[in-house]
Amino acid sequence: MQAHDFEPMSIGRILDQTFRIYRQNFICFVTIVAVIQVPISLLMIVSTTGLHRGVPIRQSSDSGQSSYGEPEPAVALFGAAGMVVTGIFGLLGQVLCRGALAKSVSEFYLGNEISVSQAYRFVLPKFLTLILAGICMVLVIYLGFLLLVVPGIIFALWFALTTPVIVVENLGATQGMSRSKALASGNLGKIFSVGFLVFLIAIVLSMVLNYSASMFTRFIFFGNATLLLSLRHFVSVAANILIAPIGATAYILLYYDLRIRKEGFDLQMLADSMSSGQGAANGSEPQQWDRTNV
C-alpha cells in the first residue's frame, strides 16, 4: 500500500481524502466498529425486550383494538439492569473503538497495512489512558460550558485531537490533552469547520438510513411494538457502524495536517524515505511547502 501525499490540506481536501480512505478500507473500518457495536446491540435488544415484557406496552391488533399483557416485575428489573450495564459497556466500547479506528486510519495514511486484530491489540494497552483522558475532557468541557458556554466550546476544540495524539504518539492522558491543545492553537476555526461538516454528514446519513428502515419495518411488523423497537435499534446501530469511521478518518487527517503545518512532518517523512533509498530511487528532492495559503 502506498502512502498518501504528505502535504498541507484544505478543509475540502481533508473531506475528500476522508471519503477516499474510507472507500479503500471500507471492510476493515466497518469491521472494527462492528466487533464492538454488534454484541452490545444484541445485549441492548435483549434488555429492552425484557423491560417491555415486564412492563407491557400497548399492542395494536389488525382489528384496531389495543391490549396489554400481564406485568412481570422480575423480568422488568432484569431488563432495566441489563440496559444500565449495556450502557456502561457501550461507552467503554466506544472509547476502545475510537482508539482502534485512529490506529487503523493512521497506518493506512502512512502507507502501512494493519488488520482489525492488530489495531485492537495495539490500542488495548492504552485503553485506561483513553478512558482517563475522556473523563478529564468531559469534566473540563462541562466546566467550560458552566462558564458561559464559550469556554466549553474552546476547550472542546482544544482537546478534539486527544485520541489521535494518545494513539499515535503514545502519550499519557494529560500529556495527550496538552499536546492536542498545542496542535489546535491557532487552528480552532479549521477544527470547528471539519467537526461541524462531519457532524452534518453523519446527521444526514443517519436520518436517511433510519427513515428508510422505519418506513420499511412499519409496514412489515405493524402491531408488534417490541419487535419494531428492536429492529429500529438494530438499524440505528448499523447506521452508526457505517458512519463512525468517517469522523475518525477526518480527525486523523486533521491531526497530520496540523503536524505538517507546524512541525514539517511532510519533510520528516520525505527524509525518512530518502534515507531508506526510496527517495533516491524516485529522484525526489525535499520540498518546502507554502503552508500559509493552503
What pLDDT digit, counting tens, does each position of 29-65 carry? 999 999 998 888 888 777 776 666 656 555 444 444 4
Identify whether the C-beta of residue 52 lies closer than 8 Å to the C-beta of residue 226: yes
Q: What is the pTM of this model?
A: 0.78
State the cell numbers at 193: 469547520
- Beta carbons of 141 and 159 less than 8 angstroms apart: yes
All structural domains of the chain with their residue ranges = 11-273
What's the pLDDT band for 266 if we cut at 50, 70, 90? low
The dihedral over CA atoms of 195, 8, 103, 241, expressed in degrees to the nearest 10, equals: 40
Residue 67, number of CB atoms within 10 A of its CB: 9
Instruction: Render pLDDT for 150-170 as a digit per residue (tens, 0 to 9).
Output: 889 999 999 999 999 999 999
